[in-house]
Amino acid sequence: MSSINQLKPHRGSLIGSRSAWRDALAVFMAGVLLLTTALPADARVNIKPGYNSFSVDQDIEMGREAIKEIEKEVELVNNAELNDYIIRLGQKLVGFAPGHKFPYTFKLVNSKELNAFALPGGPIYIHTAIIAAAANEAQLAGVMAHEISHVAIRHSTNQASKAMLAQAPLAILGGVLSGSGVGGQLAAMGIGFGLQSTFLKFSRGAEKQADEQGAQILYDAGYDPKAMAEFFAVLEQQGGRGGPEFFASHPNPGNRKNDVAKLAPSLGAAKQFLSDSPEFAAIKARVGGLPAPAVRPPTAPAANTSGARPSAPSKKLRALNTESFNLQYPDNWQVYGEGTSTITLLPPEGVVQAGPNSQPALAYGALISIFEATPEAGRRLTLEAATGQLVRDLQKSNADLKIVGKPRTFRGNDNQEMMSVNATGRSPLQGENESNLIVTSFRPEGLWYVVFISPESDYKAWEPSFQQILSSLRFPR
């Protein structure tokens, strides 16, 4: 009350009144100035973690459990200089990470595959191929800031929570996650800790959030936020039509470069950014001198460069059972990417490389994935609208893809609403066009879809096998 009374003019003293008002105005303007300088902080990235059945302590516990499985499957770098560098850079960045102060750790994997991944609770792994491909330290820091953001926003356990809620909602509501032994409870529900785990599969929405939060971390650490988006564009170019391994678990959320550029003004005032360090060049050279990684089973199909056509699909079928769908496929086909966000079914020689300078591409087989459609303001998202968004997204990387006829709605097994769309495009086989059958359905994770692919000249012969796969499709939840 007294402060308000002080602003009242004194009777009989106009000078005193004006002086009091000047003092009050000065205080007010100082407050305005303070608020103005604080505005960028108010406008900064502030992403709240999504639905999560797990506690922060359980994130950490699961990360420690996952390390035991992950490190059986990867080849860690045993070089003190490289490990010290990646740890110091990581700790510099986590100083600006939001949320809980997780016990972040950083390790290098000796691998020629362009990849990086984060486990719940803080463990982060960077493949040496990322360092080899990065043009400067800012780009490497961008990948690491992106992975740190997945941990900070708790994307891994958010993904696992959604998977568990869809599989066993009553168990979760009944408190199955309380107490210890989380790893055993997850394993009982078919959620493992290895490289194919649910923990390592992110949605486009999660990727966009990690981009935005990662950009803020980069800015605060003194690096240009655009370096992250620029490096991901390099990864996409190097990965060809299917993208490198990184994008199997980190689907591209859209035009990263434009999105980060639009976000940049809200991150804070313009400043002189770090781009590189003298140490980075030495580290990159040392990575180039590492021994070749140990030979491991292939994670991607070998490209057919001979032009030979694959054998006809077998009539004998083999089962593919995943967390989100079950189906049967010809037993002379192979499955790649199981446990990741994109699964490919294809015959031997189904991936074609037309020439030494061309990228390998799928000519025969099926590609299965999840797409995150966006509802229009004030409208319910229909299956037709979501499928239309998917087609337009596919056309961005396949400019020759054209729709043939009208979409058809039908009921799949268990009365599940589905939609099919026929399309044509240019086959990776020289001089050939291809035929595509795109089938979609809404699932808890997003818009589930499968694209069946064959050269136009072989489509009639292969279509019965495509339909057989489709008729065997079941969604377990």
3-state secondary structure the chain: CHHHHHCCCCCCCHHHHHHHHHHHHHHHHHHHHHHHHHHHHHCCCCCCCCCCCCCHHHHHHHHHHHHHHHHHHCCECCCHHHHHHHHHHHHHHHCCCCCCCCCCEEEEECCCCCCEEECCCCEEEEEHHHHHHCCCHHHHHHHHHHHHHHHHCCHHHHHHHHHHHHHCHHHHHCCCCCCCCHHHHHHHCCCCCCCCCHHHCCCHHHHHHHHHHHHHHHHHHCECCHHHHHHHHHHHHHHHHHCCCHHHHCCCCCCHHHHHHHHHHHHCCCCCCECCCHHHHHHHHHHHCCCCCCCCCCCCCCCECCCCCCCCCCCCEEEEECCCCEEEEECCCEEECCCCCEEEEECCCCEECCCCCCCCEECCEEEEEEECCCCCCCCCCCHHHHHHHHHHHHHHHCCCCEEEEEEEEEECHHHCEEEEEEEEEECCCCCCEEEEEEEEEEECCEEEEEEEEEEHHHHHHHHHHHHHHHHHCECCC
How far is residue 145's CA from residue 152's CA, in Å, rounded to a whole number? 10
User: Among 115-124, 329-338, 417-426, which is the least confidently predicted range?
Assistant: 329-338
pLDDT of residue 308: 67
pLDDT of residue 190: 47
**Is pLDDT above 90 for 418?**
yes
How do residues 158-216 score in pLDDT, each as one tens digit? Answer: 877 766 554 443 333 333 343 445 555 555 444 555 444 555 567 778 888 999 999 99
**Is pLDDT above 60 for 7?**
no
* 98 compared with 303, residue with greater pLDDT: 98
Domain ranges of the chain: 2-42, 56-288, 317-472
pLDDT of residue 275: 84
**Is pLDDT above 50 for 112?**
yes
Mean pLDDT over the full length of the chain: 78
Q: Tell me which range, 43-47, 195-199, 282-286, 339-343, is most confidently predicted by mean pLDDT.
A: 282-286
pLDDT tier at 420, thresholds 50, 70, 90:
very high
**Is pLDDT above 90 for 330?**
yes
How do residues 342-401 score in pLDDT, each as one tens digit? Answer: 788 988 878 876 655 556 678 899 989 888 888 877 788 999 999 999 998 888 767 788
pLDDT of residue 169: 39
pLDDT of residue 467: 95
User: Among 20-29, 304-313, 324-333, 433-442, which is the least confidently predicted range?
Assistant: 20-29
pLDDT of residue 92: 97
Q: Report the CATH number of the 317-472 domain.
A: 3.40.1000.10
Q: Of 255, 161, 308, 143, whose CA–CA distance to 210 is shortest?
A: 143
- Answering whether pTM is above 0.75, one says no
How far is residue 338's CA from residue 391's CA, in Å, rounded to a whole number? 23
Q: Tell me which range, 38-47, 333-342, 366-375, 416-425, is most confidently predicted by mean pLDDT.
A: 416-425
pLDDT of residue 24: 45
